[in-house]
Every structure is written in structure tokens, then in C-alpha cells.
Amino acid sequence: MNILEQTISLNGLRFYAYHGVEAQEAVAGGWYRVNLTMKADVSNAIASDNIEDTLDYGKAAAIVKEQMEIPSKLIEHLAGKIAKKLIECYGNRLKSVPVTVIKENPPLGIVCDESTFTLSLER
């Protein structure tokens, strides 16, 4: 059996947060979603059924939540903080992590469902 790739994804993590350049965004806040895909060798977990042999996605969700609670002006900055913290947490076990931050209904003065930024960090 050849394993080509192993990923653990969390999609649609949803938060009400206070990010943005405009002053009213810091006061009123808005809805955000975060998607991430952690690429790592978790081959041992396939056989062992042991959480110590994988990347605990509960920890990943907690990291995202923690970073979402710290206001940032830019979703680019926010995605960078999340990706860096995930790499710090999992160390060499995490090969790469694309993180997407989605700002729902951004204040543009026109109808826009969402603005999105994706950053991929690789060890």
C-alpha cells in the first residue's frame, strides 16, 4: 500500500469577531469562517488508532479560536498568525498548512457575499 498524501481538514469554523480596517468593524464585528488543511505523516495512526499518532484537530480548532479572538486589521495578517501558530504547535510533524480566512459580507458599500484570503505555509 502506497500512501500518496495525508491531510486533516477543518472546514467552516465560524466565528463572530472584530477584525477590519474600518473603525466600525472593531465595534460592530462580523462573521468569519476559517478552513484549514494540515498535511502531515500520520501513518502510525492508521494502524494504532491512537490520538498521539496523529494531529489532534481539537488543538487546531482551539488555536484558530484563540487567534480569532485577537483583533487584526487584515485577514491576510490573521491567516498568517493562525498558520504560524499551527506550525509552532505541531512542529516537524506538520509539513504544510493552507489556511483560508473568509470574511462574510465585507463592508464595501455593494453586495458582496465574502472576501477570502488563503495562505499556505510549508515547513
Catalytic residue of the set 73, 84, 95, 103: 103
Establish whether 103 is a catalytic residue. yes
Global pTM exceeds 0.75: yes
Q: Is residue 123 predicted with pLDDT exceeding 90?
A: no
Residues 51-72 pLDDT 10s: 999 999 999 999 999 999 999 9
Residue 2 lies in a domain: no
Confidence tier at 1 by pLDDT (50, 70, 90):
low
Residue 23 lies in a domain: yes
Residue 52 lies in a domain: yes
* Closest of 34, 2, 4, 1 to residue 19, by C-alpha: 34
CATH of residue 46:
3.30.1130.10
Classify residue 113 by burial, with Cβ atoms within 10 Å: 0-12, 13-18, 19+. exposed
Residues 80-102 pLDDT 10s: 999 999 999 999 999 999 999 99
Single-letter residue type at 105: N
Residue 107 lies in a domain: yes
75 contacts 115 by C-beta, under 8 angstroms: yes
Classify residue 109 by burial, with Cβ atoms within 10 Å: 0-12, 13-18, 19+. exposed
Domain that holds residue 116: 7-122
Total domains, the chain: 1
